Structure 1
Amino acid sequence: MDKFLVKRPSPGKNEEPPLEMKRGDLDCARDEGVLKRPRLEMPGTEESLVCSPWKQIRAEGLNCDYKILFTKTEADKIFQELEEEVEYFKGDLTKVQVFGKWHSIPRKQVTYGDPELTYTYSGVTFHPKPWIPVLNRIRERVTLATGHTFNFVLINRYKDGCDHIGEHRDDERELVPRSPIASVSFGACRDFFFRHGASRGKNASCHIEPVTLQLAHGSLLLMNYPTNVYWYHSLPTRRKVPGPRINLTFRKVMALAKN
């Protein structure tokens, strides 16, 4: 099935024809609908990047929107603040349960959010740390761009291309039904991989072409419903990537009643 990247029309303008995504791959989208591989050193005026139009990423059951959210100057500053101020989990909170066995995660991880919330996945329940100023600033920009509010964020830090995360869906029971997940990236560009659930494994019931994205420094990927119902996503190992990447996924989480 063909995948499409569609540039949303500005108010008062005629809708532009979609740009077809060849071989399921999407390089980081920049200004004026041109597909370009991102660079950390961005030429030209930075303000145009923040004001860049949304790019729509669509396939069967896949509904995502992408844009540059921060200028390079802003993104560089935020990245440095995150490196200095975010305190990652240690000990048992750095492990997950897979098929009954505990494994250390190949990355650093932490959650921040409103105090009454908890979040459980892979056999571990996380209690978020209190919001800090840099995270609130990012959250406010995300809300301004999307119109959605978020009360929780999961942060993953990948020290280089050897750190990774396997295929999974963000479908935990604490998430507000049908709510979007806003993924903000800083640092090194990495391949971000989508695979339809029906196309996974040797006994796949059908073949739906996977989609590969490359998310730029300072970018926002909004994963809308029903993406996480049908599609798994991952950040695979890329050994040639030398630098760190920090990813923040902002979520709407419900305070579940305690048993």
Structure 2
Amino acid sequence: MDVQLTNLQRLPRKKIKQERDEKMTEEHSEDDEDTAFAEFSNPVPWQKIEAEGLDCDYALLFSKEEADRLFKQLEGEVVYATGEESKVQVYGKVYNIPRKQATYGDAGLTYTYSGVTRLACPWTPTLEYIRDAVTKTTGQTFNFVLVNRYKDGQDHIGEHRDDEKELDPLCPIASVSLGAARDFVFKHRDSRGNQSCRQIEPVKLELAHGSLLLMNPPTNTFWYHSLPVRKKVLLPRINLTFRRILLDSKRESKPKPGVS
């Protein structure tokens, strides 16, 4: 299922959350709408993307001019991993990552995925600026970002879920895209591979230059996502996935979605 990201409805993040509440009536007074808008300094038009167990919101966060500037600044600021830090472990085997990768965030934070633990580098000025723009738009706070740079359409990332134990299960993952537009594909866990037990159509969308995709709970419980190879794409892309990592003292006290 291809998602057409057009005719976006102008709704701030707060109102989208409210509409999920079954107790909310269909009608809103103009005063309520004005109050909701006032709580955000940078409301943007949002596109809702939904399927069984999939809940995402998509918007153009930055204009082309600003996105161009941010991309150029990140090219000069971000230091990507090299050597052993540029490898991942999959089913006991070590592979080179088919893209460049870096981790930034609050002091002392670490993030473990694919058998590798990464220490967060201090925020750069541009990463802080983008993080703060995401916070103003969504009302969510983030203390860590994973940076992926794809040199062209040959660089890619395979099917995976962002469901590591360090992540706050109640916080969405905010994905900011800069550079070449790329296809982004969701696939339900029950419809993957030879052992698939259900026929559920994948959800595919194109992530544009300057866009923001929010993957809300419980999306990463039920859906894998990937950025497949696209040989016709010749330009680079930088993707920033902002996350909220729990401190050790909080991990045991916060349940995962669906667990009481």
Alignment TM-score, normalising by the size of structure 2: 0.81
User: Which ranges of 4 or more aligned residues in structure 1 deviate by more than 4 Å?
Assistant: 30-33
Residue type of the alignment partner of 1:91? G
CA–CA distance in structure 2, aligned partners of residues 154 and 89 of structure 1: 11
Superposition deviation, residue 254 in structure 1 = 1.3
Paired residues of 1:149 and 1:252 also in contact (CA < 8 A): yes
Percentage of pairs with the same residue? 61
Of 40, 47, 61, which residue of structure 1 is paired with 2:53? 61
Paired residues of 1:121 and 1:172 also in contact (CA < 8 A): yes
Paired residues of 1:28 and 1:216 also in contact (CA < 8 A): no
Alignment TM-score, normalising by the size of structure 1: 0.81
CA–CA distance in structure 2, aligned partners of residues 115 and 191 of structure 1: 33
Change (3 A) 1:240 1:30: farther
In structure 1, stretches of 5+ residues that fail to align are 1-23, 34-49
In structure 2, stretches of 5+ residues that fail to align are 11-41, 250-260
Superposition deviation, residue 32 in structure 1 = 6.2
RMSD: 1.4
- Give the match for residue 17 of structure 1: none
CA–CA distance in structure 1, aligned partners of residues 77 and 223 of structure 2: 33
Paired residues of 1:26 and 1:211 also in contact (CA < 8 A): yes
Of 188, 192, 197, which residue of structure 1 is paired with 2:189? 197
- Give the match for residue 238 of structure 2: 246
**2:162 is the alignment partner of 1:179:** no
Paired residues of 2:5 and 2:47 also in contact (CA < 8 A): no
Of 42, 45, 69, which residue of structure 2 is paired with 1:77? 69
**2:227 is the alignment partner of 1:235:** yes
What SS does the corresponding residue of 2:248 show, helix, strand or coil? coil
Change (3 A) 1:68 1:78: same
- Give the match for residue 118 of structure 1: 110
CA–CA distance in structure 1, aligned partners of residues 176 and 197 of structure 2: 33
CA–CA distance in structure 1, aligned partners of residues 157 and 3 of structure 2: 20
- Give the match for residue 17 of structure 2: none
What SS does the corresponding residue of 1:26 show, helix, strand or coil? coil
Superposition deviation, residue 117 in structure 1 = 1.0
Paired residues of 2:190 and 2:196 also in contact (CA < 8 A): yes
Superposition deviation, residue 178 in structure 1 = 2.1
Superposition deviation, residue 151 in structure 1 = 0.1
Paired residues of 1:30 and 1:52 also in contact (CA < 8 A): no
Change (3 A) 1:51 1:31: farther
Change (3 A) 1:240 1:163: same
Paired residues of 2:8 and 2:47 also in contact (CA < 8 A): no
Change (3 A) 1:139 1:199: same
Superposition deviation, residue 53 in structure 1 = 1.5
